[in-house]
Amino acid sequence: MSEINLGITADMHVHLRDGAMSKLITPTVRSGGISICYVMPNLVPPITTKQQVINYHKQLNDIAPETTFLMSFYLSKDLTPELISECADEGLIHGIKCYPAGVTTNSKYGVDPNDFSQFYPLFEVMEKKGIILNLHGEKPGIEEKDEINIINAESKFLPALRKLHSDFPKLKIILEHTTTSEAIELVRELNSDKKEGDDITIGATITAHHLYLIIDNWASNPINYCKPVAKFHKDKKALIDAATSGEPWFFFGSDSAPHPIHKKQVHVDVCAGVYTQCNSVAYVAEIFDKYNKIENFKKFISDNGIKFYDLNEKILAKHKGESVWLIERENKVPEVIANGDVEVVPFKAGDELKYIVEWRKN
Ligand SMILES: [Zn+2]
């Protein structure tokens, strides 16, 4: 099949930054083939007030009015149950992102995953209002004896996910950018009692780049370095198997996270993040094609995420007049994308991809 209608597409984990970087990157959500995206709140300062949500949404919408931006709060002590309730009722936020302190870009304001109990009053409101808890699932190492490092930080976090689900079985939780076979197994286990038509409360996003990379690919190339880091062959295999399976708890979240090239080409403190937005759909399609699972592609890149987020007709109506089409045609990834103020090197820069996207009126 050389053309597939993907309908309305969704990328449920994007970093669109601020200032000149935001102006460069935000339009590439659409050019990469995505209709609706869920925006991360890790700006400086992080997004923790209603006015910040309103301002950031307006800023993004002014840059790219055809895209739908779903907004989030940054989990912190500044949030209150009343604030969450009010913003949920007004449809301003869809989720709250939890960053364990110190694990990735701008996460110094984050929380200690050993003790989520201080946030339980917030989780109660979120559970009631259908607001999603988005977890960056890595456990920070506090002391050497914890024996936590970038390879095992995700696996060590998984007991915290298990506990949260058991304490709040109706709270929708997403384990973001899963990178290990252990995480995939746990998400399947926590959903093992689900029957067709049941509400799903535990989901997992999978990025484009983790379907390609293992540890060897970033150890010598800072462009491929991100958090959580890509792991081993068995993990990549588990991610590909999960993404292409069509199972409703696995869906696309690119975690596209641009950094200016001068912050990647350094010898110390290389910024973690892979930028994939400009070809997000094409990168993933290539994997589905390679493993002969293209028939499940629409579930991963569209249906499963939209269903998990329970997006209403009002949100979807904006996109009903057009569709994203996946076309089999050579597509060269640019070496760099730039706007005079900032330069970003995309994932697989200079490579030929097998697919490209087109927007067509219905
Ligand atoms: Zn992220």
Reported as a single tens digit per residue, the pLDDT across 207-247 is 999 999 999 999 989 999 999 999 999 999 999 999 999 99
Residue 1's pLDDT is what? 58
Q: Supply the pTM of this predicted model.
A: 0.96
Residue 197's pLDDT is what? 81
CB–CB of 258/25 below 8 Å? yes
Structure tokens at 83: 């604030």
Q: Domain limits at 121?
A: 3-361
CB–CB of 234/181 below 8 Å? yes
E strand or H helix at 304: helix 304-308
Give distance in angstroms: CA of 221 to centre of ligand 1: 19
Q: How many CA atoms lie within 13 A of 194 on its CB side?
A: 19
Q: Tens digits of per-residue pLDDT, 30-60?
A: 999 999 999 999 999 999 999 999 999 999 9
Structure tokens at 133: 């808890």
Phi-psi region of 340 (alpha: psi -120 to 50; beta: other; left: phi over 0): left
Residue 352's pLDDT is what? 98
Give distance in angstroms: CA of 14 to centre of ligand 1: 7
Give distance in angstroms: CA of 195 to centre of ligand 1: 30
C-alpha to C-alpha distance for 21 and 258, rounded to whole angstroms: 8
Give distance in angstroms: CA of 246 to centre of ligand 1: 23
Which CATH number is 75's domain given?
A: 3.20.20.140
- Count of all residues that appear for the chain in the document: 362
Give distance in angstroms: CA of 361 to centre of ligand 1: 32
> Distances in Å between the alpha carbon of 322 and those of 11, 297, 330, 360, 362?
17, 18, 23, 5, 5
C-alpha to C-alpha distance for 311 and 7, rounded to whole angstroms: 15
Give distance in angstroms: CA of 362 to centre of ligand 1: 33
C-alpha to C-alpha distance for 217 and 142, rounded to whole angstroms: 28
Residues in Cβ contact with 90 at an 8 Å cutoff, skipping those fewer than 6 apart? none
Report the number of distinct structural domains present in the chain.
1
Ion ligand 1 neighbours (CB, 5 A) are: 255
**Per-residue pLDDT in tens (0 to 9) along the chain, 362 residues:** 589 999 999 999 999 999 999 999 999 999 999 999 999 999 999 999 999 999 999 999 999 999 999 999 999 999 999 999 999 999 999 999 999 887 766 667 778 777 789 999 999 999 999 999 999 999 988 788 889 999 999 999 999 999 999 999 999 999 999 999 999 999 999 999 998 888 899 999 999 999 999 999 999 899 999 999 999 999 999 999 999 999 999 999 999 999 998 888 888 888 899 999 999 999 999 999 999 999 999 999 999 999 999 999 999 999 999 999 999 999 999 999 999 999 999 999 999 999 999 999 99
- The structure tokens 């339009």 sit at 27
